[in-house]
Amino acid sequence: MPDLLLELFSEEIPARMQPKAADDLRRLVTDKLVAEGLVYEGAKAFATPRRLALTVHGIPARQPDLKTERRGPKVGAPDAAVQGFLKATGLKSLDEAKIQRDPKGDFYIGLIEKPGRDAIDVLAEILPVIIRTFPWPKSMRWGARSAKPGSLSWVRPLHAITATFGLETEEPDVVKFSIDGIEAGQTTYGHRFLAPSAISVRRFEDYEAKLLDAKVVLDPDRRKDAILTDAKQLAFAQGFELVEDQTLLDEVSGLVEWPVVLMGSFEPEFLKTPDEVIRATIRNNQKCFVVRDPKTGRLTNKFILTANIEAIDGGKVIVSGNERVIRARLSDAKFFYETDLKTKLEDRLPKFEQIVFHEKLGTQAERIKRIERLAAEIAPLVGADVAKATRAAHLAKADLLTEVVGEFPEVQGLMGKYYALAQGEDDSVAAACEEHYKPQGPADRVPTDPVSIAVALADKLDTLVGFWAIDEKPTGSKDPYALRRAALGVIRLIAENALRLSLLKVAASALAGLSVKPADAEKLPSDLLAFFADRLKVQLREQGARHDLVDAVFALGGQDDLLIIVRRVDALGKFLDTDDGKNLLAGTKRASNILSIEEKKDKRTFHGAPDAALYSLAEEKALAKAIGEVTTEASAAVAKEDFAAAMRAMAKLRPPVDAFFDKVRVNDDDPKVRENRLKLLNEIRSATRAVADFSKIQD
């Protein structure tokens, strides 16, 4: 079956857009083919800075013929209806129609045959539409044609389109279409500098090979491999190792069609600047890799660049040019760093009075004060020194006003630590300047130093309570203030450090510190708690744990100690994995179901202690006894926060519950006995509530 080759040759496509564009092209073309009844065998798309390419192989040469039946008017219907039917079906006369009998009478049936079209014609129709409506994140118009409305929009000017279709054994045909004066053909171009001439291509195999001859590596993965291998090799040859950086590698591979990896160096004196600053400088501004000395783990004075040409001088000029730029950049960075060191962190704070954090939540200075107060309050609860936590909160944001962080926002926090250490702050205080931002996501490290924990919690809780107070909660996919991440951070800080904290109390205290007073201030902490419950569920789901158990625990009410909640969920999950757990859950649910039916029927509840005198069967008595024992035992275990023991106690309920349902008819004819038995069922429900609300657990 024939194959399609499509290439869209343009001016330089931004590196960050290339992977998605290749993917979109493949998806859009193949989806449309399938929708047109052309089921293909395989497809692959590629991107370089100057081209998007797609190969789809095994496309049928023709669409299948389509046969459809159309029901017409009744036999003997008025002429107008018959004429309409003939027109719609294309039949010449009613002789060509079948007659079909159904209960309502005899009807004419027209058989319409739609012959399939040649695939190449279908392609000529769908490709221009896909190109015209391609989902670039940003696109533009250009040239003389842009004077008229409706001119083609592309990510950068589009210059040529290659579109061929045909069998491997034959000369393929060009898919004939044109867009804004660009005629699809089979001519493309090689590397901009190394092989700029036109190349005539037939199909994907010779296309890829000819491009390679013309110094274009079509496949981004091959370019990445080449860059990574060469970069490692260059570093290794000098006894160093490459600091790998996937994001940078992805970007760099989108900036070259013919990667040539070269190594340069800079003056060792720049190494006095922190490694992270050097790396940020070289990476962000110059898109080069840095190199470390495996013996010390620190950076060396080398960098690795990826050029797009094989220079006739072997790259000497390119290396020295890059060295000059990097030298200038590093000398700026060094200057920033040294300038920063001249000002103490606390001396920067007054400037925060001019900087608005959020229109409704005041200035950064006010926010820092709130975090200080909250950190001091949280400190004793997490075993941190109050003075240190206050000091850390006082200084933690100051590096935002330093030159280095202004230049490289990604080293915020880290620079705070360096500057704090340089001015002789306590180690924990310095660490908190960096770590209070952590954890930034599910994979980030959670701080363990109590001072860091106190400030991290204060920072995140102030943010959460603040945005809750001004009703800027996340909705759907919108979370501009990263509140979900903040909540997950709080959960991880508490759970992984095994901290005991009443979230309701802390939230209320954070709320009291705000100058904005929300209308429903009383509801806010519990509303926020529900948000934490949601986040906890998401986290557990992502870990592959049961998230429905969170609801079962929260339904108990009054649960605002995250650590205890997590432990309850954990113990419950383990219990429910056992046979005892599963059966008890089934029994409890059965009891709940019966109760809710009967409660509805009688329009009353069955709370209250059952009357022992009304028990007539052994199973009733046994169950009542077991409930009494289990309740006592489980409550004692819960009081000691030994949830595993509480679950073990619960397990003892299973045999009497099973026996009860086996032998006892709840809806006894004697209304008194019936009521008593329903009360007993209610007791099962209450007993299990010592650990969770079983009715909230999904089966």
Partner 1 sequence: MDASLPAHMRPDRSFQGLILALQRYWADYGCVILQPYDMEVGAGTFHPGTTLRALGPRPWNAAYVQPSRRPKDGRYGENPNRLQHYYQFQVILKPSPPNLQELYLKSLAAIGIDSAIHDIRFVEDDWESPTLGAWGLGWECWCDGMEVSQFTYFQQVAGVECAPVAGELTYGLERLACYLQGVDSIMDLNFNGREGAEKVSYRDVFFQAEQEYSRHNFEHADTAMLFEQFKMAEAACRKYLEAGWKDGKREAHLMALPAYDQCIKASHVFNLLDARGVISVTERQSYIFRVRELAKACGEAWVHTEAGGAA
CB of 326 to partner 1, least distance (A): 7
Stretch of 141-149, 231-239, 338-346, 594-602 contacting partner 1, by CB under 8 A: 141-149
Chain-centroid distance of CA 72 in Å reads 53
Of 92, 101, 104, 148, the residue at the interface with partner 1 (CB under 8 A) is 148
**How many other C-beta atoms can be found within 10 angstroms of the C-beta atom of residue 569?**
25
Which is closer to partner 1, CB of 13 or CB of 649? 13
Stretch of 1-9, 316-324, 521-529, 685-693 contacting partner 1, by CB under 8 A: 316-324
Which residues from 243-272 bind partner 1, rule CB under 8 A? Answer: 255
CB of 392 to partner 1, least distance (A): 27
Of 92, 101, 104, 138, the residue at the interface with partner 1 (CB under 8 A) is 138
Stretch of 308-316, 425-433, 451-459, 531-539 contacting partner 1, by CB under 8 A: 308-316
Of 164, 253, 281, 322, the residue at the interface with partner 1 (CB under 8 A) is 322
Stretch of 312-320, 336-344, 379-387, 667-675 contacting partner 1, by CB under 8 A: 312-320
φ, ψ dihedrals at 430, nearest 5°: -65, -45
Stretch of 154-162, 231-239, 408-416, 513-521 contacting partner 1, by CB under 8 A: 154-162
Cβ–Cβ < 8 Å for 472, 481: yes
Whose structure tokens read 């113990």?
571
Of 4, 6, 8, 15, the residue at the interface with partner 1 (CB under 8 A) is 15
Measured CA to CA, the distance from residue 261 to residue 250 in angstroms comes to 15
Measured CA to CA, the distance from residue 59 to residue 68 in angstroms comes to 24
Q: Helix (H, G, I), strand (E, B), or coil: what is residue 84? A: helix
One-letter identity of residue 524: L
Of 71, 145, 541, 665, the residue at the interface with partner 1 (CB under 8 A) is 145
Of 57, 70, 159, 473, the residue at the interface with partner 1 (CB under 8 A) is 159
Measured CA to CA, the distance from residue 539 to residue 560 in angstroms comes to 17
Whose structure tokens read 């007073």?
517
Q: Helix (H, G, I), strand (E, B), or coil: what is residue 37? A: coil
Which is closer to partner 1, CB of 315 or CB of 447? 315
Which is closer to partner 1, CB of 321 or CB of 655? 321
Give whole-number Cα distances, 361 to 249, 365, 507, 636, in Å.
40, 11, 16, 45
Stretch of 117-125, 132-140, 227-235, 656-664 contacting partner 1, by CB under 8 A: 132-140
**Should residue 193 be labelled a site residue for partner 1 when binding is judged by CB under 8 A?**
yes
CB of 331 to partner 1, least distance (A): 8
**Should residue 309 be labelled a site residue for partner 1 when binding is judged by CB under 8 A?**
yes
Q: Helix (H, G, I), strand (E, B), or coil: what is residue 263? A: strand
One-letter identity of residue 493: L
Count the site residues for partner 1 by CB under 8 A.
49
φ, ψ dihedrals at 174, nearest 5°: -80, 135
Residues with Cβ < 8 Å from 657, sequence gap 6 or more?
583, 584, 587, 588, 591, 623, 626, 684
Residues in the chain: 699
Give whole-number Cα distances, 157 to 161, 307, 313, 398, in Å.
12, 23, 32, 45
**Should residue 312 be labelled a site residue for partner 1 when binding is judged by CB under 8 A?**
yes
Of 14, 37, 58, 474, the residue at the interface with partner 1 (CB under 8 A) is 14
* Half-sphere exposure (Cβ direction) of 156: Cα atoms closer than 13 Å: 14
User: Which residues lie across from 68 on neighbouring strands?
Assistant: 112
CB of 181 to partner 1, least distance (A): 10
**Should residue 360 be labelled a site residue for partner 1 when binding is judged by CB under 8 A?**
no
Of 356, 512, 516, 644, the residue at the interface with partner 1 (CB under 8 A) is 356
Q: Where does 293-380 show beta strands of DSSP type E?
A: 299-307, 356-358, 362-363
CB of 367 to partner 1, least distance (A): 15
- Nearest residue to 468 (alpha-carbon basis) of 480, 490, 455, 483: 483
- Cα angle 55-56-57, degrees, rounded to a multiple of 5: 115
Measured CA to CA, the distance from residue 664 to residue 683 in angstroms comes to 16
CB of 394 to partner 1, least distance (A): 23
Stretch of 146-154, 238-246, 467-475, 556-564 contacting partner 1, by CB under 8 A: 146-154
- Nearest residue to 489 (alpha-carbon basis) of 443, 450, 529: 443
Of 12, 24, 225, 245, the residue at the interface with partner 1 (CB under 8 A) is 12
- Cα angle 155-222-252, degrees, rounded to a multiple of 5: 50
Which residues from 327-346 bind partner 1, rule CB under 8 A? Answer: 327-328, 331
User: Which residues lie across from 261 on neighbouring strands?
Assistant: 306
Which residues from 402-461 bind partner 1, rule CB under 8 A? Answer: none
Which is closer to partner 1, CB of 52 or CB of 565? 52
CB of 256 to partner 1, least distance (A): 8
CB of 180 to partner 1, least distance (A): 11
**Should residue 146 be labelled a site residue for partner 1 when binding is judged by CB under 8 A?**
yes
What is the crossing angle of helices 671-688 and 579-602, to 10°?
A: 130
Measured CA to CA, the distance from residue 389 to residue 454 in angstroms comes to 6
Stretch of 235-243, 321-329, 419-427, 547-555 contacting partner 1, by CB under 8 A: 321-329
CB of 287 to partner 1, least distance (A): 8
Q: Which residues bind partner 1 (CB under 8 A)?
A: 11-12, 14-16, 49, 138-149, 155-157, 159, 193, 255, 286-288, 305, 307-309, 311-313, 316-318, 320-322, 324-328, 331, 354-356
